[in-house]
Structure 1
Amino acid sequence: MSRESPSVTFDRVSEINGDAPTLIEGLPGHGLVAAITVDVITRQLSLEHHGNIVSEDFPPVTSFKDGRVRDLVRVYARDDPAVMTLQSDVALPGQAFKALSQCILDDLAQEFERAVFLAGAPAESEDQIGNVVGVGTTETIESQLRDAGIQPADGPGLIGGITGALVSKCHHADVPAAVLVVKANPYLPDPAAARSVIENALEPLVDFDIDTTELEEQADQIRQQMEQIAQHYRQMTEAQQQQESEEPPGVTMYQ
């Protein structure tokens, strides 16, 4: 029996000229750390709209900004610094990973040098918020994480959700990838965790400079702006938890 290929297209709207960039994933997850982080990076580095990822597997909703409709999942990029970001205006369900991974591997992997994924881990106390550890798919990536001062994640663990599925696809396709696991509020938008992952991990790893002042001074405003996405993510994860079996004992889950 043949398997149907996922329906997905990448609509490119601009070209990348120069060094291959680092792709930074910003899909909504625990604490919306990835979404908040990538939004700040995209704006402050003035990344250009590179293209849109369109698939029937994405939620059937319409996204807009300032009165103008736009695609749910978008890619931004710039030559200097060589950075590419992946953004989504809504939490994506697990079944969307096939379409998204196909687009990343078939259309984008030839353009970027490595991928950096961001995963939130539920913080058990205020002191833990912002703690960052790393996971790599290759020895080179592990070395780059160490050189950036990012400690490796201890013991066994699982990276769940669509982020974990994308990392697995990159690993099997020999696409160099790193995962930055940051402790964050598991359900409320967490600008403090986003600030930490930028300052303590992404800046030394990717070599750019971001002013994170707004993540502290405008924390309440950011939480309000992200609350709709956070609510959708909570509903989606609660539904998934009802369907999934228990995790293996002694294994930590991030997503």
Structure 2
Amino acid sequence: MARIDVQSDTELDSPTLVEGLPGLGLVGKIAGDHLVSSLDLDYYAGVHCEGIPQVSVYRANSSDLMPPVRLYANDDGTFLVLQSDIPVSPQAAGGFAECITSWIAENDVTPLYVSGLPSEKEADVPDVYGIATGEGSDLLDDAGIVPPPEGGLVSGPTGALLAEASEQGVTGVGLIAEASSQFPDPEAARSVLEYGVEPLADVEVDTDDLVEQAEDIREARERLAERMQQAEADESSQAQPLRMFQ
């Protein structure tokens, strides 16, 4: 049965919600995980909607099981993060979006959806654009977030969430960040947090850890490119560990 299983006594107070589903560049996933960790958010509810595989998650040094998709909240109930450890099936994205959006509408939640826009350029500060549902355009204007320079579409579960929010008349925002289509992109996640989430949700987020991750991943990309070039020039066949993110 589709439901949001609340496990907390925290009372919600017209909160802003950041969606952290895995997607291109893992932008939303990285941003969501960082928010839960850096803001020390508390487990609020388990999400049991269509499209979520029936699996259980456990953490290091803990015997407690948790659902793979969860909601976390701050102490005063004004800020939420939708955290996911697994992708939502695109085939069931419609049912998932309807389940989540109905709960959002019932609880006066303002959602911020996150999506990556494929980009090949190596920008130190990836651009972030905004799209809106309901009266979300006013929120974007107040935050100084501009619309995308070209037309496009948002696909997958995040696209379904935006479509359902629009259909139900929910005021929300879609944050679209230029991101790598081949690698996790903490630089894009950092831009989303600094130029999207902070002004829209009125929160302060320390992104120093994401800067360090970005540098490590950039070096890993360069090492991979060097290995690929060497492999093309080498006539012999061999196997070796890549150790991508070490």
TM value normalised by structure 1: 0.77
What corresponds to 2:180 in structure 1? 185
Change (3 A) 1:132 1:28: same
2:118 to 108, 119, 122: 122
Letter in 2 for 1:207: D
Letter in 2 for 1:92: V
Change (3 A) 1:222 1:115: farther
Deviation, structure 1 residue 18:
5.2
Q: Which has the larger radius of gyration?
A: 2
**Structure 2 residue ranges without an equivalent (≥5):** 219-246
Change (3 A) 1:42 1:92: same
Deviation, structure 1 residue 14:
1.1
TM value normalised by structure 2: 0.80
User: Deviations for 1:119-178, whole angstroms, at most 9, x for unmatched residues?
Assistant: 00111210286210000113x311211221111123421110110011100100011111
User: Deviations for 1:197-225, whole angstroms, at most 9, x for unmatched residues?
Assistant: 111121111111000000012447789xx
Letter in 2 for 1:115: P
What corresponds to 2:58 in structure 1? 64
User: Deviations for 1:13-62, whole angstroms, at most 9, x for unmatched residues?
Assistant: 01442521011100000000101101111122222211111246323444
Letter in 2 for 1:36: I
For residues 169 and 96 of structure 1, what CA distance do their matches in structure 2 show? Answer: 13
Structure 1 residue 90 and structure 2 residue 86: aligned?
yes
For residues 48 and 160 of structure 1, what CA distance do their matches in structure 2 show? Answer: 30
Greater CA drift, 102-111 or 115-124: 102-111
Structure 1 residue 173 and structure 2 residue 168: aligned?
yes
Identity of aligned residues (%): 37
What corresponds to 1:102 in structure 2? 98
Letter in 2 for 1:57: G
For residues 100 and 116 of structure 2, what CA distance do their matches in structure 1 show? Answer: 21
Deviation, structure 1 residue 82:
1.4
Structure 2 residue matching 1:210: 3-state secondary structure:
coil
For residues 201 and 24 of structure 1, what CA distance do their matches in structure 2 show? Answer: 10
Which of structures 1 and 2 has the larger relative contact order (alpha carbons within 8 angstroms, sep 6+)?
Answer: 1
User: Deviations for 1:77-97, whole angstroms, at most 9, x for unmatched residues?
Assistant: 125471111111011111232
What corresponds to 1:196 in structure 2? 191
**Structure 1 residue ranges without an equivalent (≥5):** 1-6, 224-255
Letter in 1 for 2:2: V
For residues 53 and 217 of structure 2, what CA distance do their matches in structure 1 show? Answer: 23
For residues 204 and 80 of structure 2, what CA distance do their matches in structure 1 show? Answer: 15
Alignment of 1:145-164 (within 5 A): 145-164=140-159
Structure 1 residue 43 and structure 2 residue 33: aligned?
no
The two structures, once aligned, show a CA RMSD in angstroms of 2.2
What corresponds to 1:141 in structure 2? 136
Number of aligned positions between the proteins: 216
For residues 103 and 138 of structure 2, what CA distance do their matches in structure 1 show? Answer: 27
For residues 53 and 95 of structure 1, what CA distance do their matches in structure 2 show? Answer: 18
